[in-house]
Amino acid sequence: MRVPDDSLPLKPTPLAPGDQVVLISPAGPVSREQVERGAALLREWKLSVTVGAHAYDRDGLVAGTDRDRLADLNTALADPAVRAVLCTRGGYGSQRIVAGIDTAAVARDPKIVLGFSDITALHLALWRGARLATLHGPALALRTEPDPMTVAALHTALFDPTPVRLAADPAESTAAVTTAGRAAGRLLGGNLAMLAATLGTPDAPDPTGAVLLLEDIAEPAYKVDRMLLHLERAGLLNGLAGVAVGQFTDCPGTDPSVPEVLADRLHRLGVPVLGGLPIGHGAVRVTVPLGTRAVLDADAGTLTADPALRRP
């Protein structure tokens, strides 16, 4: 197994009680009540929580104008008092602002960046522009009380610079996608639809030697097949070390099912594939690092990733 150089990712420091974190909405519009629920959780952890100036705005499909959403992001990235930039939700719109990210500010003072789903566009842009290790984890606009495993994993990912070890859940629908083997590589990826949307842009990741993470929601089997075929034809599945498959939630249709389509496409790659990971839009949403060294052991049913945080 080829293991990437540990020195490559730019890593922020862990959070500590009293640190300032900012909640921003770089994609879809959010409810103030839901954001306050997330902020309350962070305050329980003794963090100082502020909300971006435009986090509650709405401009058609997105949470405020592109200029304002980008301003909230870049203001947080450049503020030396801010130690983490936490996204309130995904939805749609992150890709509309990624070309303007202040990557020089990221390089000067790397901060934790957390989000998932549409926020995959930010993860990929920050990786391309600054080689920043980020966190693929739950949005902080909380509709309900979060699952205890989700909360515990998020706390660890924000405060504790130790490796993340995640076991596949046989109850997840994608568990059957697994194919035997063990692989090591840099964990990259996230939402399948957003990965497909990066093709032809500067943010499309280099798959060579990577462990590719995939998850999605509400996509029928034919669209999943089409997106995977698109990745394949564009070369984004070439040279992978392995594939980590998270949750494909609320996907309509059963003949064929989305897991069957995933298995059909991914098994052709001839690399280890581990399905059933509680990563994505399910009830349990475990936070995992992106951009760090990972070991995928499909035989043992585990994914282990180096932390996105550096030791202080």
Q: Write out the catalytic residue numbers.
A: 117, 215, 281
Please tell me the total number of residues recorded for the chain in this structure. 312
Which residue type is seen at 111? Answer: K
Q: What does the alpha-carbon distance between residue 81 and residue 267 come to, in Å, rounded to a whole number?
A: 47
Q: What does the alpha-carbon distance between residue 226 and residue 32 come to, in Å, rounded to a whole number?
A: 36
Closest of 268, 286, 298, 240 to residue 4, by C-alpha: 240
Local structure of residue 307 (DSSP, 8 states): -
Residue 82 CB neighbour total at 10 angstroms: 19
Q: Please report where in the chains the tokens 């789903």 appear, as a residue.
A: 117
The answer to whether the CB of 31 falls within 8 A of the CB of 1 is: no
Q: What does the alpha-carbon distance between residue 166 and residue 249 come to, in Å, rounded to a whole number?
A: 19
The answer to whether the CB of 265 falls within 8 A of the CB of 289 is: no
- Measured between its terminal Cα atoms, the distance across the chain in Å is 30
Query: Degrees (nearest 5) of the Cα angle 134, 138, 142?
Result: 145
Closest of 151, 48, 43, 69 to residue 77, by C-alpha: 69
DSSP 113-155: EEE-GGGHHHHHHHHHHH-B-EEE---SS-SSPPPHHHHHHHH
